[in-house]
Structure 1
Amino acid sequence: MTESAPVDPTSTEGWKKLDSIAADFTPDLRGWFDSDPGRAEQYTFQAADLTVDLSKGLVTEDVLAALLQVAKDTGVAERFQAMLSGEHINVTEDRAVLHTALRRPKATRRARPGGAADGRRPGRRRRRARHARQGLRVRVAGA
């Protein structure tokens, strides 16, 4: 999946389902907790080292299913993998994204043909960010 434009989520079947849910949606968080004592456990999960709790959000089984359908319809998982592999997915800036390149430890970086797609050097950006963080720490510690 290289160099393909993202799918407009509002054009998907999942979005149509969200629209139909929204038309009759009456949020009642207290009522949902009262009627479902297992709501917190049902909507809480681990993602890496984070605990994600959707139970206190306006989420129902139907809403969650429709949101997951939108993600599937728009190829979120495929685009995430493309991002991690350095593919050209940033259509607004016409280049590969650098999010992961800037955060990847030096030992695990992979060279791409021709370097960064936009000619920038992630190492230089990483050093500048590190110096900025160090400066903030000094200011905070001295305050």
Structure 2
Amino acid sequence: MANENANLNSSKAPEPVGLYPHARRVGNLLFLSGVGPRERGAKQIPGVELDEHGNIVSYDIETQCHSVFRNVRYILEDAGSSWEELVDVTVYLTNMQDDFAAYNRIYAEYFKDNQPCRTTVEVNKLPTPIAIELKCIATIITL
């Protein structure tokens, strides 16, 4: 991105569910909007089974974690940053008691080399029928 203060939408990450960009660059910082496990152009959410009313019947937190981390990577790379440039990650889980151990194990696999600051909180519900969402800040190295 040429502009130092610009919104960015990735061509690979799932479409935003509201009026917001995937990320916003401000100087050498990149602020990502909340990123979930949905896939671009797909109605089915990886690791989620819904009933006919759109309510969650079951979900696989491990599948959702892998999908969320992939989407974050897509946004970072499309913005001219990378996984290694993440400096802060806020994680929202809808079921801390049942999902934290699996999420924490998978998180450790993805972040063993780069360890950004992290906050993990439980929320009652997310805007779509998902069990995890990430909010991230990364740097962009300009040459």
Q: TM-score range by the shorter chain?
A: under 0.3
Q: RCO greater where, 1 or 2, for CA within 8 Å and sep 6 or more?
A: 2
TM-score, normalised to structure 1, is 0.25
TM-score, normalised to structure 2, is 0.25
Normalized per residue, the structure richer in helix is 1
For the pair shown, the structure with the greater C-alpha radius of gyration is: 1
